[in-house]
Amino acid sequence: MNTPDRAQKRILVVEDEPSIGNMCRRVLTGEGWEVDIAINGRLAQDMIEEKQYGLCLIDIRLPKMNGQELFQWIQKRYPQLSGRVIFTTGDIMSGDTEVFINQTGRPFLPKPFTAEELKEIFTETLKRLTK
């Protein structure tokens, strides 16, 4: 297992669209983060079991296990990580998605998003975590 300091600089991006995953990797690596990408919720579970992450960006709509199911699993198995999740989706707030995100109290980044918006939501989330 890696040291907590190193884990704080590691982000898990759970995203099945390669272009978005690659943009996240490029932008966040440029900000000094180590970035891992999981293309579905089941793979994300395996990665969370193997490594510690400082933050997770989770798409709501994923194959094999959606973002809501993954978040519920994180809450049960890794509750300290559940407060370090940021959600994203191109499903601009269907009723169920909106209710779920509001219930979690976690930040949300709608797709499509820019590199600046991505950096901004990570910066704001980190500020809240260090207060």
**Beta carbons within 10 angstroms of residue 72's beta carbon:** 15
What domains does the chain contain, in order, with CATH numbers?
4-125 (3.40.50.2300)
CA distances from 106 to 6, 30, 85, 103, 121 (A): 23, 24, 6, 8, 11
Q: How far apart are the first and last CA of the chain?
A: 27
Q: What percent of the chain has pLDDT over 90?
A: 82
Asked if pLDDT for residue 94 goes beyond 80, the answer is no
38-93 pLDDT, tens per residue? 999 999 999 999 999 999 999 999 999 999 999 999 999 999 999 999 999 887 65
Q: What percent of the chain has pLDDT over 70?
A: 92
Q: Give pTM, 2 decimals.
A: 0.92
Mean pLDDT of all residues in 100-129: 94
pLDDT score of 75: 97
Instruction: Provide the CA 116 distance to its chain's centre, in angstroms.
Output: 16
